[in-house]
Structure 1
């Protein structure tokens, strides 16, 4: 092995690491799980629907035959269930070295008519899940004195659009919760950061992708002039999950084609 390859493996390689990705049966979560597996990590897929999880596992094994894959089904909004599932996995299957808090949902409605139950659901799914899973996993990481947490924010962590004010509020909260995690847990050897995707072609955005008017607006509004591809998030996730980011903490990394820095 030459020095160049040795450096890359030492800095960015994830061989021997175990990564849990919440909400990883499709979309961004699946793409990140696949990318982490390709970087050498053992991946743990999570979701509520065991059938969808099994399908995701089969697809991942087909795309990355050497991957070591486990399934861990639990509801990220149920604090007790999360704690039980994480504790049992740690006891029976070994340490979780990397956590990617990806699970989330969207609901669009004018703010003046936004249903209160949907607002509560957004809070629990997008913010409560990051607290629930982050806390359960971090307790074990703190004991070991090391760990990587990557929370998935959004371009809406910094910007707002009509019809999604509660979603915007949740993603702003995830950005600040990331800062809080880093502030509390950096002293214990954890690096807690976030990725803020711009507009990506995912199942969550299917309605927007199918809308020619919105896609035309997006192309004009984004300096890169296009939708993002989910695989373009992998490099940021591998970096924040690896030794290369050993002194990066509390950072929100925007992967958005420059939409958040332009008018």
Structure 2
């Protein structure tokens, strides 16, 4: 018996064509949920959809190209998912990646781009799906965030600031949406295996190291107590807990998924 209690529920995942988002879609389908996911890259989205349909031939699944910063694109995605799968019970906000820059070399345009991405990649999907979430049993919103919200890094100054703001936004939405019985939570990830880390691995100077050796060294340099990078599935499992009725009395909270990297109680 699957513990997540999401059978026959409709769940929306943004940024679902790779990484944590894709792992989340996989686990949701395993749990018997109906899933709509989106991404900006059409080729990657179609490839992800094909893999999922091959693995889950009976799945109720919708994949649609969508830019989460574009209100019209999101409205079309929300309408399509409701028509195909019914109203959303849970929304997973997963779109966005980090920007490497210090205060000195972050331009005004870069600040605007980063703040726009981190805030409106959550604000606009929430707006688009709010009418569906209202009135649904165990309605939930989950936001994928970073440990940078608590532990800013000087080489990622804009992303760190935006991540802290997103953590605050989750709590604000949780208080406001409680009146509509919609829970809002988030996860704080540390270093998780991703396409970004794979690209850094391919550009490594020490060519004698394989992936496991290189990431073990990285974990050691970053002082990760568990000694390795996290897996997308491990972050996705925390997301599913927060999206599901298993966390029915949890709102305004964040789960740390950083392998012990957090220095905060």
1:135-190 deviation digits (Å, cap 9, x = unpaired): 22123212446511110011111111231111111111211111111101112111
Q: Secondary structure at the match of 1:54?
A: helix
Q: Out of 80-89 and 179-188, give the one that drifted further.
A: 80-89
Give the direction of change, closer, same or farther, for the CA distance of 1:248–1:43 in structure 2 (3 Å limit).
same
- Counterpart position of 2:24: 32
- Work out whether residues 138 and 244 of structure 2, in 8 Å CA contact, stay in contact via their aligned partners in 1: no
- Counterpart position of 1:219: 220
Deviation at 1:50, TM superposition (A): 2.1
Q: TM-score, normalized by length of structure 2?
A: 0.87
1:70-219 map, 5 Å: 70-91=62-83, 93-144=85-136, 146-209=138-201, 211=204, 216-219=217-220
- Counterpart position of 1:41: 33
1:58-69 map, 5 Å: 58-69=50-61
1:25-46 deviation digits (Å, cap 9, x = unpaired): 1111111111111111111120
Q: In structure 1, how many angstroms separate the alpha carbons of the residues matched to 2:196 and 2:172? A: 27
1:247 and 2:249 equivalent?
A: yes
Q: Secondary structure at the match of 1:152?
A: strand
Residue ranges of structure 1 left out of the alignment (5+ in a row)? none
Q: In structure 1, how many angstroms separate the alpha carbons of the residues matched to 2:201 and 2:257? A: 18
Q: In structure 2, how many angstroms separate the alpha carbons of the residues matched to 1:209 and 1:243? A: 39
Give the direction of change, closer, same or farther, for the CA distance of 1:135–1:179 in structure 2 (3 Å limit).
same
Q: Out of 249-258 and 154-163, give the one that drifted further.
A: 154-163
Length, aligned pairs only: 255
1:68-118 deviation digits (Å, cap 9, x = unpaired): 211122211112332343145325541111110000022212220113222
Q: In structure 2, how many angstroms separate the alpha carbons of the residues matched to 1:89 and 1:185? A: 22
1:22 and 2:14 equivalent?
A: yes
Structure with the larger helix share: 1
Q: In structure 1, how many angstroms separate the alpha carbons of the residues matched to 2:215 and 2:232? A: 19
Deviation at 1:65, TM superposition (A): 3.9
Give the direction of change, closer, same or farther, for the CA distance of 1:88–1:25 in structure 2 (3 Å limit).
closer
Q: TM-score, normalized by length of structure 1?
A: 0.88
Q: In structure 1, how many angstroms separate the alpha carbons of the residues matched to 2:189 and 2:169? A: 17
Q: In structure 1, how many angstroms separate the alpha carbons of the residues matched to 2:264 and 2:113? A: 32
- Work out whether residues 138 and 147 of structure 1, in 8 Å CA contact, stay in contact via their aligned partners in 2: no
Q: Secondary structure at the match of 1:16?
A: coil
